[in-house]
């Protein structure tokens, strides 16, 4: 039974002795694989930190009743998509950062405080879309790797089979010595294509699922925050008179003053 060292040496020797085109195919697949693994690790760290900061921000959101105080805490959570959505909403409500306390928020006029709930709703939706787009950055490369790498490997496989037939033609026999080099190149290219594609496909599906979950979390928070702003806006509206002034009584009063 061959040892592991001999197997590794034989694979390296096979790569070195492969044709230039097969080596080019392997280099392309190696590039796709290395970049894919770099993206996989980068996204793993990003989603883990984002999930932790989302959890922390939502905990603060339910504990801190002051929106202005929560805004200060959210600025420190740079990797939390939910906190980014909240900051975008607060920037729409207070673009000049003039609000310092919750009392300032309640003391504003209704147009200044709410700035139209429809516009705020569009701001929240746009911010959610931006955060989802940020989370999906470079995931398309994983999808491309998963789709293209098997075909690149298949291209190397075809070249290896052609090389095997050329060996048969040169030696005039179909012995294992004639076909082994070409078949080995073909199988090596196939294995390289699968090794590049499989992790990329698995990671892509996993991160797309995580992105959808975070998107749902952001949409739920947007709905909750919009309802909160609307509720506080209604509660802090100035009291309006129950009806229009009585014109007749006003005219009567002015007539009495004239008579005097």
Q: What is the mean pLDDT of residues 235-245?
A: 42
Label residues 74-96 b or e (16+ Cβ within 10 Å = b). beebebbbbbbbbbbbbebbbee
At 177 the pLDDT is 64
Residue 221, classified by CB atoms within 10 Å of its CB into exposed (0-12), middle (13-18) or buried (19+), is buried
User: Which pair of tokens denotes residue 187?
Assistant: 């199988």
Q: What is the mean pLDDT of residues 69-92?
A: 89
Residue 37 has pLDDT above 70, yes or no: yes
Rounded to an integer, the average pLDDT of 117-131 is 88
Q: 35: which residues sit within 8 A by CB, 6+ positions away? A: 141, 145
* Confidence check: pLDDT of 106 > 60: no
On whether the CB atoms of residues 66 and 101 are closer than 8 A, the answer is yes
Can you give the C-alpha Rg of the chain in angstroms? 33
pTM reported for the whole predicted model? 0.74
Q: Please report which confidence band the pLDDT of residue 45 belongs to, taking 50, 70 and 90 as the band edges.
A: very high
User: What's the confidence (pLDDT) of residue 179?
Assistant: 67
Confidence of residue 18 (pLDDT cuts 50, 70, 90): confident
Q: What is the pLDDT of residues 190-209, one digit of tens each?
A: 999 999 999 999 999 999 99
Considering only CA atoms, which of 66, 226, 36, 69 is closest in space to residue 147?
A: 36
- Residue ranges covered by each domain of the chain: 8-259
Residue 183 confidence (pLDDT) above 70: yes
């Amino acid at each position: 039974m061959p040892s592991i060292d001999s197997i590794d040496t034989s694979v390296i020797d096979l790569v070195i002795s492969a044709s230039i085109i097969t080596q080019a195919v392997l280099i392309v697949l190696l590039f796709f694989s290395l970049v894919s693994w770099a993206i996989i690790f980068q996204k793993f760290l990003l989603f883990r930190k984002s999930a932790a900061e989302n959890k922390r921000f939502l905990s603060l959101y339910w504990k801190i009743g002051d929106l202005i105080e929560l805004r200060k805490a959210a600025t420190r959570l740079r990797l939390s998509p939910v906190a980014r959505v909240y900051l975008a909403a607060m920037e729409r409500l207070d673009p000049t950062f003039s609000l310092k306390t919750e009392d300032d928020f309640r003391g504003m006029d209704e147009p200044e405080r709410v700035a139209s709930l429809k516009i705020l709703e569009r701001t929240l939706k746009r911010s959610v879309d931006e955060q989802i787009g940020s989370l999906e950055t470079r995931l398309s490369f994983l999808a491309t790797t998963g789709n293209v790498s098997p075909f690149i490997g298949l291209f190397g496989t075809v070249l290896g089979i052609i090389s095997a037939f050329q060996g048969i033609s040169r030696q005039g026999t179909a012995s294992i010595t004639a076909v082994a080099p070409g078949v080995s190149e073909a199988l090596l290219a196939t294995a390289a294509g699968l090794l590049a594609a499989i992790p990329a496909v698995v990671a892509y599906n996993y991160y797309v699922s995580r992105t959808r979950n975070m998107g749902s979390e952001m949409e739920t928070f947007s709905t909750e925050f919009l309802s909160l702003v609307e509720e506080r806006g209604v509660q802090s509206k100035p009291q309006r008179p129950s009806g229009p002034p009585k014109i007749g009584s006003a005219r009567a009063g002015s007539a009495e003053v004239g008579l005097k």
